[in-house]
Amino acid sequence: MPSPDPARQAFTGLGGATIAITGGARGIGWSAALLAEKAGAHIVVGDLSDDSLENVEQRARADGLNIRGVKVDVSVDEQVRSFLRDAAADGRPLGVVCSAGIAPDVDVLEMTPEQWQVVQDVNLRGTFVAAQEAARIMRDRGTGGAIVTISSAVGTTGSPNLTHYAATKGGVITMTRSMAREVGKYGVRVNCVSPGGGLNTPLYLNRATPEQVAARVAGLPMRRLGEPEDCANFIVFLLSDLSSWITGQNFNINGGSIMP
Ligand SMILES: NC(=O)c1ccc[n+]([C@@H]2O[C@H](COP(=O)([O-])OP(=O)(O)OC[C@H]3O[C@@H](n4cnc5c(N)ncnc54)[C@H](O)[C@@H]3O)[C@@H](O)[C@H]2O)c1
């Protein structure tokens, strides 16, 4: 049965903290959950479906992991706020990761305002409400904390068929910078991770044919897709004391796919 690694726990300062992760039932969020748990944190993952949360609870029970799942739809403001208030109720130092996101392909000339809005509500509004509530809790406690938002390389470059998604991800980057400028005085750090290049998660693989994946890999400097752990490592670093003088930054984790 795995247990927190004492060396890593002391090194990162995450031992005994609570880390709340939206969209944490799979992909990058789940990978961050596993890594932060290994560093000694208590993990609360929020996600959409009973099935995915049941899966989380089962994996946690089977492997003795300190991870619990809570149902939350990040596009519903009050659900996001109560998810975070519930996660923070134990009074431990708090870190928050806003990983929930969707990326449905739509031709820009066919895109309806409704299709546009659904993506805004999950990716941008959902991230804003979560980061805002987290920062309020951290300010009220007077202990500071770390918030990590998730954008995308597409938030810098744009992408065909993802105009709505790219707009949200560009927004997440500038939202992160703006928030960091305001809440730094409370000891709250806000940073953004921008995955790119294609990661080995359903969000990318469900949108790409095997031929498209092969072409993508051939064009990447590192000649492989990213693994969720490639991003999770950096997310956990940003949650930890190791990044104590870093705020308002956007970090591209993409195997060199873009070098802005
Ligand atoms: N995978 C990639 O190649 C890639 C590239 C760039 C950016 N990203 C970003 O990384 C983040 C995580 O992506 P991933 O690859 O792990 O995706 P994923 O699809 O594997 O996981 C996303 C999770 O978010 C959850 N989710 C979706 N809508 C939600 C909602 N309304 N409320 C609560 N949970 C919701 C899903 O159920 C899922 O568990 C996303 O914000 C995504 O935009 C991913």
Angle at the Cα of 16 from the Cα atoms of 189 and 101, rounded to 5 degrees: 50
The residue whose CA has the least distance to atom 32 of ligand 1 is 73
Q: What is the pLDDT of residues 12-27, one digit of tens each?
A: 789 999 999 999 999 9
Q: Would the pLDDT of 178 be above 90?
A: yes
Has residue 143 been placed in a domain? Answer: yes
Has residue 258 been placed in a domain? Answer: no
Q: Using the mean position of ligand 1's atoms as its centre, give its distance from the Cα of residue 28 in Å.
A: 7
Has residue 1 been placed in a domain? Answer: no
Has residue 209 been placed in a domain? Answer: yes
Expressed as residue numbers, the domain containing 77 is: 6-249
pLDDT of residue 33: 97
By three-state DSSP, how is residue 27 classified?
Answer: helix
Q: Would the pLDDT of 6 be above 90?
A: no
Pocket test residue of 201, 216, 252 for ligand 1, highest count of atoms within 8 A of CB: 201
Residue 136 sits in a domain whose CATH number is 3.40.50.720
Q: Using the mean position of ligand 1's atoms as its centre, give its distance from the Cα of residue 27 in Å.
A: 7
5 pLDDT band, cuts 50/70/90, is low
Angle at the Cα of 194 from the Cα atoms of 191 and 196, rounded to 5 degrees: 170
pLDDT of residue 1: 46
Q: What is the DSSP letter of 123?
A: I
Q: What is the pLDDT of residues 193-243, one digit of tens each?
A: 999 999 999 999 999 999 999 999 999 999 999 999 999 999 999 999 999
What is the number of structural domains in the chain?
Answer: 1
Q: What percentage of residues in the chain have a pLDDT greater than 70? A: 96
93-122 b/e with 16+ CB inside 10 Å = b? Answer: bbbbbbbbbbbeebeeeebeeeebeebbbb
Has residue 259 been placed in a domain? Answer: no
Q: Using the mean position of ligand 1's atoms as its centre, give its distance from the Cα of residue 70 in Å.
A: 16
What is the value of pTM for the model shown? 0.96
pLDDT of residue 205: 94
Which residues are tagged catalytic? 165
Nearest-atom index, ligand 1, CA of 197 = 3
9 pLDDT band, cuts 50/70/90, is low
The Cα–Cα gap between 59 and 90 comes to 23
Q: What is the pLDDT of residues 239-254, one digit of tens each?
A: 999 999 999 999 999 9
pLDDT of residue 12: 76
The Cα–Cα gap between 240 and 17 comes to 10
Q: Using the mean position of ligand 1's atoms as its centre, give its distance from the Cα of residue 202 in Å.
A: 8
Has residue 201 been placed in a domain? Answer: yes
Q: Would the pLDDT of 11 be above 80?
A: no
Is the shortest distance between the CB of 168 and ligand 1 below 6 Å? no
Is the shortest distance between the CB of 36 and ligand 1 below 6 Å? no
Q: What is the residue-wise DSSP string for 182-247?
A: HHGGGTEEEEEEEE-S-BSSHHHHTTS-HHHHHHHHHHSTTSSPBPHHHHHHHHHHHHSGGGTT--
Has residue 18 been placed in a domain? Answer: yes
The Cα–Cα gap between 31 and 44 comes to 13
Contact 195, 99 (CB under 8 A): no
Average pLDDT over residues 65-88: 97
The Cα–Cα gap between 40 and 208 comes to 36
Average pLDDT over residues 64-91: 97
Contact 94, 137 (CB under 8 A): yes
Q: Would the pLDDT of 163 be above 90?
A: yes
Is the shortest distance between the CB of 155 and ligand 1 below 6 Å? no
Has residue 260 been placed in a domain? Answer: no
Q: Would the pLDDT of 69 be above 70?
A: yes
Q: What is the residue-wise DSSP string for 152-180?
A: -THHHH--TT-HHHHHHHHHHHHHHHHHH
Task: Indicate the average pLDDT of the chain.
Answer: 95
